[in-house]
Structure 1
Amino acid sequence: MDELINNLIKKYKTNCPFELASALGIHIRFMNLGTGTKGLYYRKLRRRFIVIHNELPVEWQRFVCAHELGHDRLHKGINRFFLEESSYFSPGKLERQANVFAVKLLSIGSNPEQEESCKSYYLRIGIPPEVQFLLEE
């Protein structure tokens, strides 16, 4: 997974999930997905889509985009929903892999500043508090 992420960043010169998705030809849409779904990834007629719940805070939009990009890169051909009730507290294998992909993608290339707490560092780089534990594993 690390090599895959490094190759993406090297090729496209960014770790921004929105820029990477665009460069990879993935269409991003924002819409109301209700209270339990933060985002989803699907393919239709050879076109790939990431749909993000339009009422999420910016840091969650970035994380969800990175998470769904993880599904595109790691789980080709599988449509997955990023469900609030199952995605980061008791994730299945595919959800866990997509979460780890997202955290690694968003945190690569940055380091904590001197005497900066881990929590402050994660918040500064846009990792939602609810998934920060993935960085500690």
Structure 2
Amino acid sequence: MDKTLKKLIRQFKTTDPFIISVGLGINIRYADLGDQTRGIYYRKLRRRFIVIHENLDEYWQRFVCAHELGHDRLHPGVSRFWLDEQSFYNVGKFERQANRFAVRLLTADDPIKADETVEELFKRQGVPIELQQFYY
């Protein structure tokens, strides 16, 4: 995973998941996905799509884009739904990997400082606090 992240950041000179996704040819769409789903990654006719719930704030949209980008990079050929809160406690291997990928991508350009907590880092970086368990 770290090699993949370093390669993407070096190639696109950013940690912005929207810029990276578009650069990789992934179509980003927004839609009302209901109460339980924040994002979807899928492939159709050789095209790749990330669909983000349109009612999320900008921080969650950024995280969901990074998470779904993680599915694209780590789990090629597998379309997965990323479910809401209850899935945080019962996520499968793919979901944990995509969460870890997203957290590492979004914090890669500004690592934690010596006198800083993970929560402070996440606030500074605009990463949802609920996902700090995936930082390590």
TM-score (norm 1): 0.93
1:96 aligns with 2:127: no
CA contact (8 A) 1:37 1:82 kept: yes
Distance in 1, Cα, partners of 2:15 & 2:57: 19
Q: Which runs of 4+ in 1 moved over 4 A?
A: none
The CA deviation at 1:112 is: 3.6
1:38 and 2:38 aligned: yes
Task: Kindly provide the amino acid, as one letter, of the partner of residue 96 in structure 1.
Answer: R
What's 2:57 paired with? 57
Alignment of 1:100-119 (within 5 A): 100-113=100-113, 115-119=115-119
Query: 2:111, 2:101 → 1: CA distance?
Result: 17
Q: Distance in 1 between matches of 2:85 and 2:59?
A: 19
Superimposed CA distance per residue, residues 54-78 of structure 1 (whole angstroms, 9 cap, x where no aligned partner): 0011111011000000000010001
Which SS does the other structure have where 1:110 is aligned?
coil
How far residue 133 of structure 1 moved from its aligned partner, in angstroms, is 1.6
RMSD between aligned residues: 1.3
Unaligned runs of 5+ in 1: none
**Residues 87, 96 of structure 1: 8 Å contact kept:** no
Identity, in percent, stands at 52
User: What are the ranges of 5 or more consecutive residues in structure 2 without an aligned counterpart?
Assistant: none
